[in-house]
């Protein structure tokens, strides 16, 4: 893997992780369409650790002050045994609850996700399917609720939606924002809660894959591409979060719906023809 490959994949990861277009789906499709073959599946799995670390650093940088407040709220809730101990106590617990479904699904379905759900036609189909769901939610959602109104049932539903995002082509941010819109959240509130619940999910994925990496080690020559890939993912991810939250204050999700439909239909035609 060259440094150019690493940087391009890092930029794709950072942008598509937080924009509602599917990071895993785009990484698979970029590799397949461009015919990039890095030798063995182990190289791609190892590089994915760097990409997850990079996206986590990007989102942690953006929400750094919120992370401090959430941690204080979490420990205050435990210490005082009350969710009213701190304004962020309740939000911290809601994020924790919303994280559990994806964590369980990721561990239990890891083999199925890696071996069965990465086929290009499946990715293309999911890009199309969840584009239509996103368009529906954006159209009928009341968009009247802000982040402070999120309740326990909301967190569970959005958490279950996040578990669905383990299938490439779905999009973690896309499906959780869609669920938030169906529940009546504003676009910005749905996106902010989506990003906040992705913090432990991305960190957990990076840690889990990183621990597995300690057993196999880093393939020779991959150290520098991993560093450049992580940096590219971090910077592009930080940009994507900042831009999307500003964009959704005044605009709809229609451009992302159109983009997903074009990419999904185009890729389906490409791979069927090939």
Residue 40: the pLDDT is: 66
Compute the residue count for the chain: 274
CA 204 distance to own-chain centroid: 12
Structure-derived torsion over alpha carbons of residues 7, 247, 195, 43, reported in degrees to the nearest 10 = -20
Q: Round to whole Å and give the CA distance between 51 and 230.
A: 5
Q: Round to whole Å and give the CA distance between 69 and 92.
A: 9
Q: Which among 26, 18, 22, 19 has a CA at the least distance from the CA of 9?
A: 26
Encode the chain (274 residues) as per-residue pLDDT tens digits: 788 889 999 999 999 999 999 887 788 778 777 777 766 667 777 888 889 899 999 999 999 999 999 999 888 888 887 777 677 899 999 999 999 998 888 777 666 766 666 678 888 899 999 999 999 999 998 999 999 899 999 999 999 999 988 888 888 999 999 999 999 999 999 999 999 999 998 888 888 778 777 777 777 778 888 999 999 999 999 999 999 999 999 999 999 999 999 999 988 888 888 7
Residue 85: the pLDDT is: 66
Q: Round to whole Å and give the CA distance between 57 and 104.
A: 23
Any residues with CB less than 8 A from the CB of 211 and at least 6 apart, and which?
none
Q: Which among 57, 64, 25 has a CA at the least distance from the CA of 237?
A: 57
Q: Angle 84-90-95 (CA atoms, 0-180°, nearest 5)?
A: 165
Q: For 29-33, which contacts have Cβ atoms below 8 Å and span 24 or more sequence positions?
A: 29/120, 29/123, 29/124, 29/263, 29/267, 32/120, 32/271, 33/267, 33/270
Determine if the pTM surpasses 0.85: yes
C-beta of residue 93 within 8 angstroms of C-beta of residue 87 = no
Angle subtended by helix axes 41-62 and 187-216, to nearest 10: 140
Residue 145: the pLDDT is: 92
The SS3 call for residue 185 is strand
C-beta of residue 94 within 8 angstroms of C-beta of residue 152 = yes
Residue 39: the pLDDT is: 62
C-beta of residue 23 within 8 angstroms of C-beta of residue 16 = yes
Any residues with CB less than 8 A from the CB of 220 and at least 6 apart, and which?
none
Domain ranges of the chain: 3-273
Residue 242: how many other CB atoms lie within 10 Å: 14
Q: Which among 270, 273, 268, 269 has a CA at the least distance from the CA of 121?
A: 268
Q: Round to whole Å and give the CA distance between 213 and 106.
A: 17
C-beta of residue 99 within 8 angstroms of C-beta of residue 159 = yes
């Amino acid at each position: 893997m060259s440094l150019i490959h690493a940087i391009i994949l890092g930029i794709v990861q950072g942008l598509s992780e937080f924009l509602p277009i599917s990071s895993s789906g785009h990484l698979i499709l970029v590799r397949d369409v461009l015919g990039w073959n890095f030798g063995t599946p182990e190289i791609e799995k190892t590089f994915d650790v760097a990409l997850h670390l990079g996206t986590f650093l990007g989102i942690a940088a953006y929400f750094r002050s919120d992370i401090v407040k959430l941690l204080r709220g979490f420990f205050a809730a435990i210490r005082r045994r009350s969710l009213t101990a701190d304004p962020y106590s309740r939000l911290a617990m809601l994020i924790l609850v919303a994280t559990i479904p994806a964590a369980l699904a990721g561990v239990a379905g890891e083999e199925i996700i890696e071996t069965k759900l990465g086929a290009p036609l499946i990715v293309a189909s999911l890009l199309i399917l969840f584009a239509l769901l996103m368009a529906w939610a954006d159209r009928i959602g009341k968009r009247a609720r802000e982040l402070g109104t999120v309740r326990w049932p909301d967190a569970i539903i959005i958490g279950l939606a996040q578990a669905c995002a383990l299938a490439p082509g779905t999009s973690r941010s896309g499906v959780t924002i869609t669920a938030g819109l169906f529940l009546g959240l504003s676009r910005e509130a749905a996106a902010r809660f989506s990003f906040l619940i992705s913090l432990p999910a991305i960190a957990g994925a990076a840690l889990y894959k990183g621990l597995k990496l300690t057993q196999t080690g880093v393939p020779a020559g991959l150290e520098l591409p991993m560093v450049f890939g992580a940096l590219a993912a971090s910077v592009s991810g930080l940009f994507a979060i900042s831009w999307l939250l500003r964009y959704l204050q005044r605009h709809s999700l229609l451009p992302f719906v159109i983009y997903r439909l074009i990419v999904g239909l185009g890729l389906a035609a490409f791979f069927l023809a090939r």
